[in-house]
Structure 1
């Protein structure tokens, strides 16, 4: 069994899915996926509740070392302040892409440490559904296919 290190993950942002750029200064990136629980218990259930899946939800949270001159960090801040959507994409060995509302920002100004901003994002209305991404592999050798321009693995919708 192999392990994938967290530092192989990258958070990208963009106004559209075709304009994703790497967000600088990101650390402690987290993707939470949950499904609502719907009670479907019939009367003749033998005393046990029955459940099924409801709607899915996602939450992306991260901390970033604040740089008030970085275009990406300012875009995240502006999306929060102006209630506008932003595309977020997590990449690495697998990934996830979703149109999000920035639902929370907290600036941490610890004594003797760098300013850190903690951010939370959740899916918002979009013409494009959230998508799980897998690394495209070469059918001949099973190796990841890399982008010729940047050497990064090519991701495709699962």
Structure 2
């Protein structure tokens, strides 16, 4: 079993198209969280002998992270512009380098839902970002890395 460290995980933005992605690492991020959940439907019947039965329904995903407020950083600027222009961006959140065949993660087209600036007195200005898959030609998919 291979252990992976959070500092080795990577967030990528696709600057190409879906068929021919050009993955650019968004390195101005910290504390990235990939939330994966599934809805549920109750399928309990009398045949369950008093036990509730549940099946999974729609999957839900979101990614939350912080960025240093750096207006000359290309990744920051792309995310900021996407937020203000309601423009989707494609991301891949991977547990390692996207060219590593042992790496895996979620690839999807996302909308930016939160772009909150934090101005702590003794810290760098930071921005909290939350993104969720949005309506797109291609459904979200779990991918593995590789050439």
Normalising by structure 2, we get a TM-score of: 0.84
1:78-117 maps to which residues of 2 (within 5 A)?
Answer: 78-91=81-94, 92=96, 93-117=103-127
Structure 1 segments, 4+ long, off by >6 Å, are: none
Per-residue deviation, residues 33-63 of structure 1 (Å, max 9, x unmatched): 1110111122443332211010001011111
RMSD: 1.7
Q: C-alpha distance in 2, partners of 1:58/1:94?
A: 15
Q: Of 77, 80, 84, which aligns to 1:77?
A: 80
Greater relative contact order: 1 or 2 (C-alpha under 8 angstroms, separation 6 or more)?
2
Which position in structure 2 is the counterpart of 1:143? none
Normalising by structure 1, we get a TM-score of: 0.78
Higher Cα radius of gyration: 1
1:137-152 maps to which residues of 2 (within 5 A)?
Answer: none
Instruction: State how many pairs are aligned.
Output: 137
Structure 2: gaps of 5 or more residues: 97-102
Are the aligned partners of 1:41 and 1:50 in contact in 2 as well (CA < 8 Å)? yes
Change in 2 beyond 3 A, CA 1:103/1:46? same
Change in 2 beyond 3 A, CA 1:94/1:44? closer
Are the aligned partners of 1:20 and 1:87 in contact in 2 as well (CA < 8 Å)? no
